């Protein structure tokens, strides 16, 4: 790893302490749910509003992707990549289940653009959203020429498969190379390419460390500006790496007993996400601290989902044998 030498360090604001406290509190909620506790937290902001897990891979949609899309059975590299990309284009469990209900096993070999388009048209007419609101893709009309977003995205997926993205992924020597390969396609921006690279890395197609590469998204950039009054000579990606590498010292400094994911410390992708979530949390906890966007409200209200998640992580992480042990 090449570490850039900087002369001027970043200067933290009071919100950085909130960042670490939020991470610990959100992780406490994760383990409280696993333990079947009724009261998950006494933090009024966390009780009222929806926030993602401290660890990205523990979120419900990621868990579904890992268990039901990637590791449901052994597949060829082509089929595995197809399933990951198709799922992530919509990033919605109900849309994937719709595919399975209509087509049975979801495979590249049996994929037909017209059939999938017709099914999604029907779903839209029935009034159901087919996309998650987690992050948005551009419509792709300029690149692929269709008036409807899902048609362009299905053509994008075909483009990826027929241009042998799978070979570029498997031949990559770093997560950054996977990111670059994804970013080269129309409608795939920098942050989305990073998200897709992370999802692909859950599978057996690649085996890079989640400490290998990071690309901050808009929410994380907002959170970084709230947590630091001055970035010094650091880029936003440098900041994420800086705080990820300092996590143990920071928890010790604040006397926080942070419960890791069964021994797995926060990774770059997790700390990137935590900046985004801290940006939202700080809108209520620190309304006097402004970021880049100027947003002052948290839109999503927490609604408890009691559908049980049978947690399963990429086997290469070595966590699945420890899941019965609660801290």
Q: What integer pLDDT is reported at residue 83 of this predicted model?
A: 98
Question: Do 153 and 76 belong to one domain?
Answer: yes
Question: Do 242 and 132 belong to one domain?
Answer: no
User: pTM of the predicted model, to two decimals?
Assistant: 0.94
Question: Do 15 and 51 belong to one domain?
Answer: yes
Q: What integer pLDDT is reported at residue 165 of this predicted model?
A: 98
DSSP 65: I
* Last residue in a domain, options 140, 169, 201: 201
Query: In whole angstroms, how large is the CA radius of gyration of the chain?
Result: 20
Q: To which H or E segment does residue 228 belong?
A: strand 228-230
2 within some domain: no
Question: Do 166 and 217 belong to one domain?
Answer: no
Question: Do 77 and 189 belong to one domain?
Answer: yes
Question: Do 306 and 254 belong to one domain?
Answer: yes
Q: What integer pLDDT is reported at residue 303 of this predicted model?
A: 74
145 within some domain: yes
Q: What integer pLDDT is reported at residue 3 of this predicted model?
A: 53
Q: What integer pLDDT is reported at residue 308 of this predicted model?
A: 84
Question: Do 91 and 175 belong to one domain?
Answer: yes
Return the closest-CA partner of residue 228 out of 296, 298, 291.
291
Question: Do 193 and 277 belong to one domain?
Answer: no
Q: To which H or E segment does residue 275 belong?
A: helix 268-285
Q: What integer pLDDT is reported at residue 6 of this predicted model?
A: 55
Question: Do 49 and 96 belong to one domain?
Answer: no
Answer whether 11's CB lies under 8 Å from 232's CB.
yes
Phi then psi dihedrals of residue 135, to 5 deg: -150, 150
36 within some domain: yes
Give me the residues of the chain with pLDDT under 50, please.
1
Q: What integer pLDDT is reported at residue 244 of this predicted model?
A: 98
Question: Do 93 and 158 belong to one domain?
Answer: yes
Tokens of 199: 């999802």
4 within some domain: no
249 within some domain: yes
65 within some domain: no
Question: Do 306 and 276 belong to one domain?
Answer: yes
66 within some domain: no
Angle at CA 272, nearest 5°, toward 268 and 274?
A: 115
Report the domain count for the chain.
2
* Last residue in a domain, options 178, 201, 224: 201
Residue 249 sits in which domain range? 11-58+213-322
243 within some domain: yes
Report the C-alpha dihedral over residues 201, 105, 101, 144, rounded to 10 degrees. Answer: 60
* Last residue in a domain, options 201, 235, 259: 201
Q: At what angle do helices 175-183 and 190-201 cross, to 10 degrees?
A: 130
Question: Do 122 and 243 belong to one domain?
Answer: no
């Amino acid at each position: 790893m090449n570490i850039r030498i900087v002369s001027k360090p970043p200067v933290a604001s009071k919100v950085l302490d909130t960042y670490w406290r939020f991470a610990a509190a959100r992780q406490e909620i994760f383990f409280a749910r696993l333990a079947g506790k009724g009261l998950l937290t006494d933090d009024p902001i966390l009780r009222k509003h929806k926030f993602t897990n401290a660890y990205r891979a523990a979120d419900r949609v990621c868990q579904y992707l890992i268990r039901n899309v990637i590791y449901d059975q052994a597949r060829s590299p082509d089929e595995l990549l197809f399933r990951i990309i198709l799922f992530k284009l919509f990033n919605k469990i109900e849309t994937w289940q719709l595919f399975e209900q209509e087509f049975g096993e979801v495979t590249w070999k049996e994929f037909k653009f017209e059939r999938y388009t017709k099914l999604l048209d029907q779903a839209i007419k029935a009034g159901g959203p087919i996309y998650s609101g987690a992050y948005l893709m551009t419509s792709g009309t300029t690149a692929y020429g269709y008036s409807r977003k899902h048609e362009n995205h299905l053509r994008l997926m075909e483009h990826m498969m027929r241009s042998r993205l799978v070979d570029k992924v498997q031949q990559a020597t770093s997560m950054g190379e996977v990111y670059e390969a994804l970013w080269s396609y129309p409608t795939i921006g920098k942050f989305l390419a990073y998200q897709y690279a992370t999802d692909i890395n859950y599978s057996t197609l690649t085996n890079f460390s989640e400490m290998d590469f990071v690309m901050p998204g808009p929410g994380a950039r907002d959170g970084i500006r709230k947590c630091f009054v001055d970035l010094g000579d650091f880029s936003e990606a440098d900041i994420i790496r800086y705080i990820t590498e300092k996590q143990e010292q920071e928890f010790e400094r604040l006397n926080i007993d942070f419960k890791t994911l069964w021994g797995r410390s926060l990774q770059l992708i997790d700390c990137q996400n935590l900046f985004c979530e801290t940006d939202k949390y700080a809108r209520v906890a620190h309304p006097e601290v402004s970021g880049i966007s100027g947003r002052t409200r948290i839109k999503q209200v927490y609604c408890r989902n009691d559908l049980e998640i049978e947690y399963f992580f990429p086997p290469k992480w070595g966590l699945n044998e420890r899941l019965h042990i609660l801290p």
